Homo-oligomer: A and B are copies of this chain.
């Protein structure tokens, strides 16, 4: 992993599969060695620059750094109003590079993270830029699939709900396609189908295939993974469309009765009502585990970009 040191993560498309696999493996190691890694990033400072609020993501990045023994500074949304005073992202990153060893940036504008990474003299992690990329969410998804099913290939993966606007879906599909051997089942109303560029990425991966359907019940029994998504009201132009489609693909215990025992149900959260609360206690529910995996894989990523070795990790790898 020495070669992730000093690099930035803007999109997973830029990251080699072996690095993705390594981060997921490191996340698992961290989970089993929390005490050993608790000083890995001592003396480091992470800056969280959240130009729009995303409390869940921010807390995950911050907790990750704190649990590695590092420290955190930053801002979140409302705090920066007058502070920016027309400053460019480039200037802000040049300034913050003097304070922090690592930056996580969230910005409403597509491409902002790329600009930030180019301006900064320290590694930058894209914590979401507009409807564009959110690579650490995808790392969390992959880590959860690996933890639940033991592999990232040879899987039947259903994705359900808003497949048009859900950026986490696009990122997960295109990244899984690179691992190969995935049968995608794309479950959505016609209005919210997966965009063509994502389908093209599946087609371009020789060992992958996809099926589009509007009916969750008829396919749920085939799935190893079911990725539910939130139908976001802010993506719709009128409330009627939102209300009509929102409840179409709600997962409940009745629907789950037709699913396999090893199915892993994922959701990027927050959910509104796409998954009934009764499902939470079903062993197939993996969406809160996904939160934990997200924090662990962010710990792995932060340490890797900083070039801070995880104590004991190399030894354990050699033994295996």
Chain A interface residues toward B at CB < 8 A: 35, 38, 43, 45, 47, 52-56, 58-60, 62-63, 66-67, 71-87, 90-92, 94-96, 98-100, 230, 232, 269-272, 277, 280, 288, 291-292, 295
Contacts and interface: CB of A to CB of B under 8 A. Distances in A.
A80 B100 CA distance: 24
So how many copies of this chain end up in the complex?
3
Contacts of A91: 269-271
Contact of A66 (B60, B71, B79, B277): B71
A47 to B, nearest CB: 7
Interface centre among A80, A94, A99 (most CB of B within 10 A): A99
A277 to B, nearest CB: 8
17 contacts: A38-B43, A45-B63, A45-B66, A45-B67, A55-B75, A55-B80, A55-B83, A56-B95, A59-B75, A66-B73, A78-B79, A78-B81, A90-B277, A94-B288, A95-B288, A98-B295, A99-B291
A272 to B, nearest CB: 5
Given A98-B292, A288-B95, A63 B53 contact: no
